[in-house]
Each structure stands twice: as structure tokens, then as C-alpha cells.
Structure 1
């Protein structure tokens, strides 16, 4: 019988406690610059092709604007980025059991583009039992100028909040939804260096700002994971991707 590769335990007990308390944890330098550079070049090659594969295809003028949705289902490199050993280990420590991948998104955020208003991921992706965690890899330096994330520490303990229309349409995309009934002045910035990995709870209230830079992008690879015994309600996200390889 094949055995499963041993799992890493990259988080300290204090970090696990911080995640439980705040709803997020940032691992510094969790992914090497070399790997990120090759991954960015790989996705750039796919979107630069004269004929893009169907799963990544967009209008030519949008090839470096619109996200690549669920590349892990079609591309081996994107799949392995979802399954990084440090990610598998951290998620198991947070969840108490093996995690499985359910969604991936390679984000472009060009200069001048809007962010997403404060929201909770669970509003869009219901899962039962509720165990979903986002893993956000910074593919370059991310700060307030180019549209970093903002979070409200501890907001995951409020449960699912009501969501309504976006209020600041000059700052945020109007087609999304915005949390209501919480003090958004409590949001704090999450600045990330290239290679940092942010894990956050699916009930954590978070947002992103407009990219105000003149020539800086904000590329990131964001995957969603659930505990292996959880189930996603959405039909398009029901496929579970194990994060371990067998020997």
C-alpha cells in the first residue's frame, strides 16, 4: 500500500492561537522568489499566446486584466502551487486535519483598477461544516499603493453578516457585495512582501483598495481550501483536490 508523504508543521503554537483569535496569520517568505518568478512567467506565457487555451481565454485587451479562474483544474504548475508543502502543513494545523483544495484564482490588478469592498468569503462559498480557509500568495510586493488587503481582526467571530450594495463605487467594483453592520474603521492593512503567504478564515471581513500606483501591478495567487470532511454547496466547486502526494 502506498503511504502519504509526511506533513510539515510550519506554524508555532502561538501562530495557531493568533489565527484562532484574529482570523488570519501571515507566513513571511513562505514561497521562494525563484518559484514565483517562474510561475508568473508561466501564466504570462499562457495569456500571451496568440491562441489562448479555452480555460484561460479572454478578449485580447483583457489578457493581463482579468483573473485566471481555477487554473489548477487545467494546468499542472498551478496545481502544484495550490499544493505547496508549507500550505498543506499550515492548513492542517489550522483545521486539525488534512485540507483539500476547491478553488484557485490568479489575480492581475493593473494600475488604476478598483478593489473589492469588504466582504466575507463564506457569503459566496458556503461549506458544511464550515472550515474554509483562503491561502493568498503575494507574487510581488503588495502595499496600500497597489491595492493591498484590509482586514478586521477577530471579525470571523461575528458569524455571517448581511451583505448589500457597494457604497464607494469609485474605490470598489460595483458588481460585488459589501458587508453591513460592522465598523469598517477597524480595518487594518496587510502589507506583504513577495513570497509571503496569508491564511484567513472565510468569515473574516476583508477588502482591497484601488491600485493607485502608476506602473505597479498587484499579482497574487489565491486558493480556497476546506477540511477533507467538509462539502461545498456550489456545484462548480465540489471537486476536492488532495494536497498530499503518495510515495
Structure 2
């Protein structure tokens, strides 16, 4: 199976069946270059300002190129202003509206994934966001051409029909994160191949992840946004405030139900 961009009129049906939708060339080359340059400048100048604390040793290449978490909350930085503007870009919100209805922005992330970096084991995004009663929607924007060699995403079409489950322990040799969710029986991962500017949208229960970047010189940079339906009544507190389509802050209730690992599970930043 290969992911292909369906006609606009088929997007909702395609997403309902597979829980994943690839839209090619949503952003043009000049836009992608501006995104890449802005984030590269920031990581070169100060990689700790937005970097996630993943507990990595100093000799791990990801300690020098950490994933940036919630840059849209730092509008005083160029990366923050850019992320906040793109989170509410009409092209992303239009696709989100087609798939889940009117949506709020919940999260922004930027991954650098340089050569030699470990991947991220299969997981489900709504394990972290805990959006209710529906689920979150990821918009994964390729900032570099990516494939299996440099650690592009693999997704499991159809896995969005399963519940969010408590993860097992991942193989630390291949994944920099600890959780692992195995694909449902009878469902196989599909390796994505994306060009810079393509966007992969996927359901919060869709199982997805990536292998290490085994290339010698190719980064696999990506800008990711998560959205939740405007009908959501709660979300994990780390994602509040949400961002309305007009860029305003929006508050809803903090997730109160126990997570998939039990009532004592507090969740974690993704």
C-alpha cells in the first residue's frame, strides 16, 4: 500500500476509512525554505530555549538538535511568531475542518532528526492530549524530502479504530522515547515517502512512528501541529490554552478522566 493524495472531494471518506490522509504540496518551496531557515537559525543560536527535556546524554545527537515543544507560545521569538501564524493557516484549518469539523490548535512541535538520530517508537497521539469526547488530529508538515533512509514516518492505516492503549517499553536502541504501541493484529505499517511541503494528517488513535535516520547527511525536519475539535470539552492541561482560528487563546476543561494506564496516570508532554 502507498499513501496517495485523493481528490479534495474524497478526503473525508479516505480519512474515515484509513485514519490518515496525505496532502501533497500544501506549502510551496519558498514557504518551506523560510520555515527551515527560521528553525535552523534558532537551534544554532540557542537549542535549549525550546528544546524538550528528554533526558538525553550529552553525546546523543538529539541533545544538540532537540525537538522544539510549543514554539507558538513564544511569540517574541521568530520561530514562535511563525509557528503561531502557521497553526492558524487557512490551508491547514480547511483540511482539519473537512476531517474533524471546526478546530482549535493544541500543540506545535519541530523535529530536526539529524543523521544518526534515533527514531520514535510506534505510539498514539491522543495518549498524550487526552482530547474528549473526540480525539486530536495531527498535521505533520515535511520540511525536508523524507523516506525510510532518513527516518520518515510509518503509519498503520485503519488503526484509528482501536482504543488508545497503555504503551509497552520501546527498544532504546532505536527510539528516543520509551513508549511502544504495537499495531493491531492483521494491520501493517506503511512507510511514507514525502516531499518538502507535503502534509500528513492523521487521527489521534492512529499508530505511527519512525525508525532511526540512517542517512549520512540528510536531516528529516518536520513541523507538527495538533488540533482538537471545537466541540471538545476537555484536553490535558499541558495543551491549554488552545488557539482559536483567529489566533486568540481559548480555555476548556482540563482532562479529568484516568488515562489508559490507570487513574493515577498524569500524562506527559508529547
- Please report the TM-score for the alignment, with normalisation by the length of structure 2: 0.79
2:98 counterpart of 1:93 = yes
The change in CA–CA distance for 1:85 and 1:233 in structure 2 (over 3 A counts) is: closer
Structure 1 residues without counterparts, runs of 5 or longer: 1-9
Q: Which residue of 9, 31, 34 corresponds with 1:35?
A: 31
Separation in structure 1 between the aligned mates of residue 207 and residue 48 of structure 2, nearest angstrom: 35
Question: Does the aligned pair in 2 maintain the 1:108–1:218 contact within 8 Å?
Answer: yes
1:209 maps to 211
Structure 2 residues without counterparts, runs of 5 or longer: 1-5, 75-79, 249-270
Aligned ranges for residues 29-178 of structure 1 at < 5 Å?
29-49=25-45, 54-55=49-50, 64-74=64-74, 75-96=80-101, 98-166=102-170, 168-173=171-176, 175-178=177-180
1:222 maps to 224
- Please report the TM-score for the alignment, with normalisation by the length of structure 1: 0.85
SS in 1 for 2:212: coil
Q: CA deviation at 1:13?
A: 2.7
Q: CA deviation at 1:56?
A: 5.5
Separation in structure 1 between the aligned mates of residue 47 and residue 218 of structure 2, nearest angstrom: 25
Separation in structure 1 between the aligned mates of residue 186 and residue 150 of structure 2, nearest angstrom: 20
Separation in structure 2 between the aligned mates of residue 77 and residue 121 of structure 1, nearest angstrom: 23
Count of residues in Structure 1 that have an aligned counterpart in Structure 2: 233
Q: CA deviation at 1:199?
A: 0.3
Question: Does the aligned pair in 2 maintain the 1:232–1:238 contact within 8 Å?
Answer: no
RCO comparison, higher one (Cα < 8 Å, 6+): 1
